[in-house]
Amino acid sequence: MIATVPLSGFFRALADPVRLRILHLLHVEELTVSELVRILDLPQSSVSRHLKVLRDAGLVSDRPLGAASFYRAVLEADGPTTGLRDALAATFSPDELSPADRDALARVLASRSDDAANFFDRVGAHWDALREECFGPTFHLEAFIHLLPREWTVADLGSGTGYLLPPLANHFRRVIGVDASAQMVTLAQRRVRDAGVANAEVRMGELNCLPIADAEVDLALLVLMLHHVADVGGALREVARIVRPNGRVLIVELHPHENELFRVRMADRRPGIAPAALQAWLAEAGFGDFETWNYPANPRPEHELTPIPSLYGVVARLKEVCTHERATRSEKEK
């Protein structure tokens, strides 16, 4: 559409010095009508009329946002005016604005910052809830996933309802969820299907006999899983079997606690696991290069199960191929 604008309209739009000022400003910064009124010190009707001429000539576009519209210069287009647009773009640098326009623009942008500061002062106490309501609770965590290689195969062991599977599948080449509960497997399969991800699957199985081949995964996740397991050492040896040499395991666990109501209500086999004990089991299974951290305390501790046990995480690397365990498993399958 821009390329078909008559040249007469194009040149007429550029023939007015006020419109040239507007175009220059809109090339430097996207602005609303009211902001242009403040910068140019002109009536709103005049600014709106100039914007209409520029828009009809294909030199500006607008983006509605609520009750306002943001305008920007359009100086990239194919057609007979391409060279002229390129020349304008080369001329319309921020430094080439008149001192008056440059100062007025700076004041407008500063007022935006003041508005933003006032907004954050006003909603600060509710900001986390507002952001979560708009973008979901894990969008920032999903961004961190992109620090890891896309070609990995990842297993979520004890995947439950499949909460982690879609975000993992959106990044990694292949994702496998495993859970021992038929109901959880059904819910996870539904979540994967509803998310439309084709590279994630959910399998039913126990942690001490995983339905995953030897050395099939690059990363195994166990999130709040091991305190449900009777034989933690045996479970981690089975995890070592499915992880490739130099592959990793990421574990999130409960610190030891004395909240018996929490343990009973959550059907936990043990009241947390000490980090030192977990590292010892991991080392016995063939893992090393440990990195351990503590999670912050629950920011909303008022709950019928208060005090909620605190969490910690561990990342470890499989240093050696556990050939004995893999051979033993292979013999069992024969």
Q: Which residue intervals of the chain bear CATH 1.10.10.10?
A: 2-128
- Residue range 133-333 forms a domain whose CATH class is alpha beta
What's the longest Cα–Cα distance across the chain? Answer: 86
> In the structure, how many helices (H) and strands (E) does the chain have?
14, 10
Up-side HSE of residue 260: CA atoms within 13 Å toward CB? 0
Averages of pLDDT over runs of 10 residues in the chain (334 residues) are 62 90 92 92 94 91 84 80 81 88 90 71 70 73 81 95 92 95 94 95 94 96 89 94 96 83 74 90 95 79 70 90 50 50
CATH of region 2-128, choose from 1.10.10.10, 3.30.499.10, 1.10.357.10, 3.40.50.2300:
1.10.10.10
The answer to whether the beta carbons of residues 200 and 163 sit under 8 Å apart is no
Nearest to 273 by CA among 303, 251, 289, 241: 251
Dist. CA 33–CA 68, nearest whole Å: 8
3-state helix, strand, coil in the chain (%, to 5): 50, 20, 30
pLDDT at 334: 47
Q: Which residue intervals of the chain bear CATH 3.40.50.150?
A: 133-333
pLDDT at 36: 94
pLDDT at 323: 44
pLDDT at 189: 96
